[in-house]
Amino acid sequence: MAKKSEYKKLKDKAWTLFSKYLRMKYSDANGYCECYTCGDRKHYKELQAGHLLDGRANSILFEWSGVKPQCKKCNLFLSGNKENYIPKFIREHGEEEFSRLKRLKSTTGKFSNSDLEDKIALYKEKIKELEKGE
């Protein structure tokens, strides 16, 4: 099996931390939050970070507004449960933000190793803050 490149390792680590922070941020004091698309309440560790737009393109990978906590059923088995995700997103964020993310997704995004290291440091700090209850 081939070894992961340094870039791939950094990107995976940044995503893991971003996903954890996002799910924790939406959670209550006991670590529970709702799936954005079906409303099931689960511990944040049982949820995933689901993208509004498919493909996880670099240009929108870490875009806060377009990533929400989702249960495995909605995110994986229902392919994001877009019939609930999109209308709810537009109600909450507006058509303009939806259009902005769609335009952004069509652009090419590339992170440098330094960009990813910065994201890793940022999300580690944000997770620490949440764990302290700040």
Contact yes or no for 55/105 (Cβ under 8 A)? yes
The tens digit of pLDDT for each residue in 94-103 reads 999 999 999 9
Residue 116: inside a domain, yes or no?
yes
The tens digit of pLDDT for each residue in 16-64 reads 999 999 999 999 999 999 999 999 999 999 999 999 998 778 899 999 9
Q: What is the DSSP letter of 44?
A: G
Residue 108: inside a domain, yes or no?
yes
Residue 18: inside a domain, yes or no?
yes
Residue 133: inside a domain, yes or no?
no
Q: What is the span of the domain harbouring residue 74?
A: 6-128
Residue 1: inside a domain, yes or no?
no
Total domains in the fold of the chain: 1
Residue 134: inside a domain, yes or no?
no
The answer, as to whether pTM is greater than 0.75, is: yes
d(CA 130, CA 134): 6
